[in-house]
Homo-oligomer: A and B are copies of this chain.
Amino acid sequence: MIRFALHGGAGVIERAALSAQREEDYRQTLGEIARDALGRLQAGESAVAVVEQAVVALEESPLFNAGYGSVLNADGLVEMDAAIMDGRDRRCGAVAALGRIAHPVSVARAIMDDGRHVLLAGRGAQRFAVEQGFALLREEQLVISARQQQLIAAKAENKVSLDHDQQFDTFDPEDRTGTVGAVARDAQGNLAAATSTGGMTNKHPGRVGDSPLIGSGTWADNDHLCLSATGHGEYFIRAQVAHDVAARMAYAGNNLLDACAATLAQVASMGGNGGLIAIDRDGHLALPFNSAGMYRGWVGADGQVRVAIYGDEAG
């Protein structure tokens, strides 16, 4: 049974703050990418190829915090994290703090295919990408003006927050919205997951979140599930979200929904919020989140593509 889901980030997403036009842009983009993925899976493409392509399309869109349109770090630069994992044999590839490359998920894929390493970071990751033939962009080619405005606001707010010694509250939850990811089960029953993000606005240069960390923000093994997470990365690392869901299924015998709920409850108990998309070996789908909303699209059991944004929408 072919299944697919994608997300464009979880966070404080409120109807009042989103214009009708912008909401429509999100729904249309999520739907188009999901329909393209469905077509590819129906045409026999592998789960890993389909999740890569879906994340490439999400990176291409300025609506999301990944690739073009990523948030800016404290230096005003884009540094991105991405990972991809193939459930057939748990092969995986990832990049962290990567700048000047249009599609970090495809560099992660190239690292996986190369096979020597799993994770490359910083300038070394950029050099690997160039060695593999990826184009090196100018810094400004990934930057959109809305992110420059967010950085200015974040820096102003940081200053205020530090004055009040609230250093742990300096990041606007809204800024974390936009990490993207995709999970798929192909016609052969193989599972795969991919995640890509620009991280947090005003982050320290070199900061790596959960997205590129296998077992934290990304996971796929054919025995259990494929999963891509989005949220406050530091909490998702400490809770080992992706592998924790897999482990609850493997060792506690939980079903997918119960495992996801238990893991997200643990994240919440630490003070973190966010969500995830996951598909298990039997094709069950889960799209849980404990934030106000999560941009998401999926192929339902009836084979139809659906999209949703807010918490009170089905799915």
Give me the interface of A with B, judged by CB distance under 8 Å.
73, 79, 90-92, 96-97, 115-128, 167-168, 170, 203-209, 213-216, 233-234, 237-240, 243-244, 247-248, 250-252, 270
Contacts and interface: CB of A to CB of B under 8 A. Distances in A.
A43 to B, nearest CB: 29
B97 A124 contact: yes
16 contacts: A79-B124, A91-B238, A92-B238, A96-B121, A116-B167, A117-B208, A118-B233, A119-B213, A121-B121, A121-B206, A122-B123, A123-B205, A124-B204, A126-B206, A127-B206, A128-B206
A122 B206 contact: yes
B205 A118 contact: no
A236 to B, nearest CB: 10
B252 A119 contact: no
A250 B121 CA distance: 32
A118 B167 CA distance: 15
A207 B119 contact: yes
A133 to B, nearest CB: 16
Q: Can you list the 8 inter-chain pairs with the closest CB atoms, starting with the nearest?
A: A124-B206, A122-B122, A247-B247, A124-B205, A251-B251, A121-B121, A251-B252, A119-B208
A180 B233 CA distance: 27
Contact of A206 (B125, B204, B213): B125
A274 to B, nearest CB: 15
A123 B122 CA distance: 7
A238 B123 contact: no
B117 A203 contact: yes
Nearest to A92: B238
A92 to B, nearest CB: 6
A207 B91 CA distance: 16
Contacts of A238: 90-92, 118, 214
A215 B243 contact: yes
Nearest to A241: B215
A76 to B, nearest CB: 14
Given A115-B168, A121-B122, A247-B247, A215 B203 contact: no
